[in-house]
Structure 1
């Protein structure tokens, strides 16, 4: 098929853009704007309608919401072609490249580059040509990553900063390639070290700094975890530690053996001296060893009761002034400025009575469901109705994401609002699609087996709960319960409420 025939097949295209490193030294935003202008020029010249998918933040292949949205719409047959600068701008991951190419071939979608080269992946020559391009892109990408890793190691050995954004209280001088102290923020760091040495907990230190008006590098309130990381970081005593992680960060990386770390002492300006750093870290270690009495003993409701106002776990402890009677304590969580949560507690015995009653009701509900499952026609209708409703919800969610994108492009909402609302929609969509997949794959026999197994757990608990206690009873409850949400604001006219999250 010649070029004119291929172009005649195209009516609606997806334009995909994303940030990438720039060899010529241009700003990424400027390069992205040029690419966008060039691709829109191509579609206008050919009278194609189009939709733009642009990653607003640079990211790894597995974490690109616009790319995921593009693939979803490709699968639904929205487009005749995908237009991008080249295949590397869409994906250059070894595993993802063939998956993306297979998707194009399966849906009979053309791939178009900024040189107006059109690949028809049904044609073997085009498939091999694009596959070879993908191989070259992957090789180049891995080569660049290897050079960057080597450069970071060399910089670390020379005592230069190569760990990205500097820690709180420090700034990077690009001309001298050195770290400098930000005195205003460094004062907060020194205060944190001093308070830890004075045996003040990290949560209370965070509250103290927040009340004084200090904010993190991301302009957020401090948390106890942020203070903990500050105290543990060697950078504040002048050490630069590199090659500690294999991966991008603590969440998706892996800690290397200590002998592989690159440590340079006296490579950064000291915010605290080494003696202060050691004293603060020893104080943290001591606090870690001192475990409250309530945490040493596991009760039936340990880690099960969650605050419905702030999400924190309610502790279970004994009231010394009430003959050591057990109680679910009022929520003690404080917000970043030290204001306490308003959720009240409840007597342990009363809470257990309510829980047992709910479990008995749940047992009755499961028995009714089992009876319905055995009535095949009714079950199939119910399942079909659930699938239909889930599909409608998925469709609405995707439509809402499209509207959000349009609102952003028309500047009707800020980028922060867009990002927060889009992330919420993405999480909701993921849950809906998982539920749909599970429901679609579940046979009648699977459903009966699952419900009988769940019923056995409830029966076992109801028959034996008063005979066992402590950790054993907690284990029994957690075999069929994820959590119990407790909502009982002080001075509220509404009655307390319990919401059960079952492990069905």
Structure 2
């Protein structure tokens, strides 16, 4: 009774597992909520509810982190939850959570009204042992889920979330079935790859025909590449590919840890031979890009299109006496509309860069001169002078780098001498 009397304000934490961690329902969550609220009301405790759906192994849960912050602000005398497993089962996070409760002198209360005072060694050890058991139980659950996924895949059942474009999920059969209309788009994408068309142009083709991704977005080159690389289109189900969760897709496990079940989906959209040929073709096409990038120039990867942001590349016009030019942009948006930036003569761009560096150099020299003439305390002026001199060094370094680029046979020797003389004189 003495511990109960110490409690005036409690943080009630409720968590429902994601679907892939168990069979919990909204009804289960409602029962837990009512049970804990009844305990708080019976004991005349002021309460604040923290409720969310998330994994007990994820310490970045928004409501959990919010509760942690408020515990540190001394807003609660106790944390009330169904059990420790509802709060955390992670073997790294559990001792951190327990240490925080002990540090802030906050009690932990379960739905059986068992109160843990972590200043008492016996309570600390009991709760720590509970955390160990929770983590052991969680790892067993994960192992059973992985086994269940593998068994389901062998039976042709789908357990990898929303099926990809071209398939729909049949919840009664727990299988994926072909969406006939979307399957036409998938077959078209594979055929265009075999025809030597790039993934960006394939995306434009699908978008113009009215196809959209599962989320209703326009296709992109990346989404087409993921489609071509996905084994599901040849009837395979691949599970346990990703480890953990993040904003995008998690870390990829070593391939020997993947759960691969061949011929799990019948019929499939693409036969295995077509899938292999398309992937080989895509790999060959992607391997061409590095060879094109080996030919670097003074402005390589430095000039961006002001209209669409694409990096301009440099071309040598054999029909114009090896004249260098920044290539026209011609980048297409997802619907096939081309950027109208027509590029620029390479030497003209060099002139613009040299002129801009010269202007900036003069601005810094003038700023440095004015600063030296001002009557300021010595220490303040010295710091500013040092900063400006450092900027001057950067500008001088840029001029040297530009001269080196000009010397790399990017312009004629006469042009190089003329420009070098111009820079020194100014």
Please list, as runs of the form range in 1=range in 2, the aligned pairs for 1:131-210 lying within 5 A after superposition.
131-210=128-207
Q: Distance in 1 between matches of 2:264 and 2:216?
A: 29
Distance 1:24 1:70, change over 3 A: closer
Distance 1:109 1:268 in 2: 57
Aligned mate of 2:78, from 49, 70, 81: 81
- Which of 214, 217, 229 aligns to 1:217? It is 214
Provide TM-score, normalisation by structure 2.
0.74
Distance 2:4 2:18 in 1: 34
Cα distance change, pair 361–143 in 1 and its aligned pair in 2 (3 A): farther
Compared CA separation, residues 318 and 354, structure 1 to 2 (3 A): farther
For 2:150 and 2:368, locate their aligned partners in 1 and report how far apart those are by CA, in whole Å.
60
Distance 1:458 1:66 in 2: 48
- For the 8 Å contact 1:88–1:137, the answer to whether it is kept is yes
- Residues 121 and 266 (structure 1), Cα distance of their counterparts in 2 relative to 1, 3 Å cut: closer
Give the drift of 1:20.
Answer: 1.3
Provide the residue aligned with 2:354 in structure 1: 353
How far apart are residue 308 of structure 1 and its match? 6.9
Which residue of the partner structure matches residue 413 of structure 2?
none
- Name the counterpart of 1:458: 394
Shift of the 106–5 alpha-carbon distance from structure 1 to 2, 3 Å rule, reads same
- Give the alignment partner of residue 278 of structure 1, picking from 276, 284, 288: 276
SS across alignment from 2:176: strand
Distance in 2, matches of 1:366 and 1:132, equals 68
Residue 271 of structure 1: how far off its partner (Å):
0.6
Secondary structure at the counterpart of residue 55 of structure 1: strand
For the residue of structure 1 that corresponds to 2:404, the secondary structure is coil
1:120 aligns with 2:117: yes
8 Å CA contact 1:97–1:134 kept in 2: the answer is yes
CA contact (8 A) 1:306 1:313 kept: yes
Q: State the 1:59 CA deviation.
A: 7.9
Bigger CA radius of gyration: 2
Equivalent-residue separation in structure 1 for 2:239 and 2:226 (angstroms): 16
- The SS at the match of 1:469 is helix
* CA distance in structure 2 between the partners assigned to 1:237 and 1:259 by the alignment: 21
* TM-superposed deviation, 1:24: 12
Distance in 2 between residues matched to 1:48 and 1:342, nearest whole Å: 68
CA separation in 2, counterparts of 1:255 and 1:105?
38
CA RMSD, 1 decimal:
4.2
Secondary structure of 2:12's counterpart equals: strand
Counterpart of 2:230 in structure 1 is: 233
CA contact (8 A) 1:21 1:28 kept: no
CA contact (8 A) 2:79 2:109 kept: yes
Contact 1:246 1:256 in 2 (8 A): no
Per-residue CA deviation, residues 253-285 of structure 1 (Å, 9 max, x unaligned), is 234245965342364321122333233223312
Partners of 1:95 and 1:348 lie apart in 2 by 56
The 1:157/1:200 distance shift into structure 2, 3 A limit, reads same
Cα displacement string for residues 147-203 of structure 1 (whole angstroms, at most 9, x for unaligned residues): 112222334455544433322212333443433212122122112112222222212
Relative to structure 1, the CA distance from residue 259 to residue 44 in structure 2 (aligned partners, 3 Å threshold; closer, same or farther) is closer
Q: Is the 8 A contact 1:314 1:330 kept in 2?
A: no
User: 2-side partners of 1:217 and 1:350: how far apart?
Assistant: 49
**Count of aligned pairs:** 392
Task: Please name the residue that 1:55 is paired with.
Answer: 52
Label 1:39 to 1:352 Cα distance change in 2 as closer, same or farther (>3 A). Answer: farther
Does the C-alpha gap of structure 1 residues 316 and 20 become closer, same or farther in structure 2, counting only changes over 3 Å?
A: same
Structure-1 separation of matches of 2:131 and 2:5:
25
In 1, Cα distance between the equivalents of 2:78 and 2:397?
58
Structure 1 residue 324, shift from structure 2 partner: 5.6
Q: CA deviation at 1:358?
A: 8.7
